[in-house]
Amino acid sequence: MTPAARVQAAIEVLDRISADLAAEQALTNWARGARFAGSKDRAAVRDHVYDVLRQRRSVAALGGGESGRQSMLGLLRLQGVAPEALFTGDGYGPVPLSEEELQAGQPAEGNAALDLPDWLAPRFIADLGSEAEAVAEALKTRAPVFLRVNQGLTSVPQAIEALSEEGITAAPHALSPQALMVTGNPRRVAQSDAYLNGWVELQDAASQAVVDLLPLESGQRVLDYCAGGGGKTLAMAARLNGPVDAHDANPGRLRDLPVRAERAAANVSIVDQPDGEYDLVLCDVPCSGSGAWRRSPEGKWTLTPEKLAAVQKVQAQILREASGFVRSGGCLAYVTCSVLRCENMDQIESFLKDMPDWAVGPSRHFLPADGGDGFFVSCLTRA
Ligand SMILES: C[S@@+](CC[C@H](N)C(=O)[O-])C[C@H]1O[C@@H](n2cnc3c(N)ncnc32)[C@H](O)[C@@H]1O
């Protein structure tokens, strides 16, 4: 496909997303009908679509409106690419720009320049203070691909070497001693031997740093109460070099975990109903996902005050439920991938008010401006 044809494809996909289709579904539908598109074409169209979704308000301002065509016009202007060179009508590209389109558009201002919804921007500023702008800026950018080196099976230098033999370049990252940032050929990772042999896992660097902070010691009984896909379960099993129990209220979310655990040679047991007491219980609760909007930018536009209030209720309930599985002197680790105070420290404060025999230990925020996704972790201890 020509660069112009890729722009036209992105315009069509964006229009389908505006008509209420999820981005992944719209991209899959387009790819099914575009057998002529190779893997590089699909990747380029996907990048255009996600670049727009991360910066919907900025590109709408610069393109003069929110249609797929106006969004792509705004995106090209934002990226410093002359749109006239691609809007020619040639090579299956978009039809030439009208005089009106050429005149339309201006840089976004205020909340639109932060690429945040109007209801959320004031909260961002109140919660993040002087960091709000840097966080909003970071959420407009593409997330790097990070790997976790499985130190039960290999070492960081060996993993870098093995990846490089397959044409994938990666370098250590400051957020965690076993984190690698992929700097070349990230799309080859999932087919590489290093990945298929369990030497590396795809996991955000801040997600790894969260597990680094947990007071884990070998021989402990550990439960991942909201294990989902199992990213943190596997990281905990690697750190412990021992067993971890994995639970999730939605068993379907655990579907991939046995295969991932086998690949990583990790000792993971799925438990439908946790039993007895644990030294450490991790609650990586459902949240707004605001720390990870670089990867899932649709969430930024679909979150509402009502949805945020509803997820806060679920978080509070999980924290109280899971606390019942922690032995006296044990640790209850509360984690979100949110940057919002109401899902983080406010939850801890409200828990401590209801449960006076608990004390808060180390807590930490990771912000997208640090390189990884935004995460919050707080370790609570039972007296
Ligand atoms: C943020 S995701 C977990 C991600 C996972 N820890 C990882 O690192 O890949 C939150 C998970 O909590 C689960 N969940 C929701 N409500 C729950 C509840 N009441 N008890 C346990 N798990 C719950 C969801 O099904 C979802 O899989």
Phi, then psi, of 379 in degrees rounded to 5: -100, 120
Q: Which domains does the chain have, with CATH numbers?
A: 3-108 (no CATH), 146-205 (3.30.70.1170), 209-382 (3.40.50.150)
Residue 136 in tokens: 């909003």
Q: How confident is the model at residue 197 (pLDDT cuts 50, 70, 90)?
A: very high
Q: How confident is the model at residue 19 (pLDDT cuts 50, 70, 90)?
A: confident
Q: Is the pLDDT of residue 206 over 90?
A: yes
What's the whole-number mean pLDDT along residues 178-192?
Answer: 96
Q: How confident is the model at residue 323 (pLDDT cuts 50, 70, 90)?
A: very high
- Ligand 1 centroid vs 285 CA: distance in angstroms? 5
- Ligand 1 centroid vs 213 CA: distance in angstroms? 20
Decide: helix, strand or coil at residue 25: helix
Residue 188 in tokens: 């080859």
pLDDT value at residue 9 = 97
Residue 255 in tokens: 């579907």
Nearest-CA residue for atom 4 of ligand 1: 228
Residue % of the chain over a pLDDT of 90: 97
Active site residue 337: yes
253 C-beta closer than 6 A to ligand 1: yes
Q: Which tens digit of pLDDT belongs to each residue from 45-65?
A: 999 999 999 999 999 999 999
Q: Give, for ligand 1, the residue of 226, 311, 314 to mutate: max count of ligand atoms closer than 8 Å to Cβ.
A: 226
Q: Is the pLDDT of residue 383 over 90?
A: no
Report the mean per-residue pLDDT for the chain: 96
Sheet containing 278-284: order of strands: 268-270, 244-246, 222-224, 278-284, 326-336, 375-382, 358-366
Q: How confident is the model at residue 340 (pLDDT cuts 50, 70, 90)?
A: very high
Cα-to-chain-centroid distance, residue 19: 24
State yes or no: 224 annotated in a binding site.
no
Tell me the ipTM for this assembly.
0.98
Q: Which tens digit of pLDDT belongs to each residue from 160-177?
A: 999 999 999 999 999 999
283 within 8 A of 314, measured Cβ to Cβ: no
274 C-beta closer than 6 A to ligand 1: no
Phi, then psi, of 365 in degrees rounded to 5: -105, 135
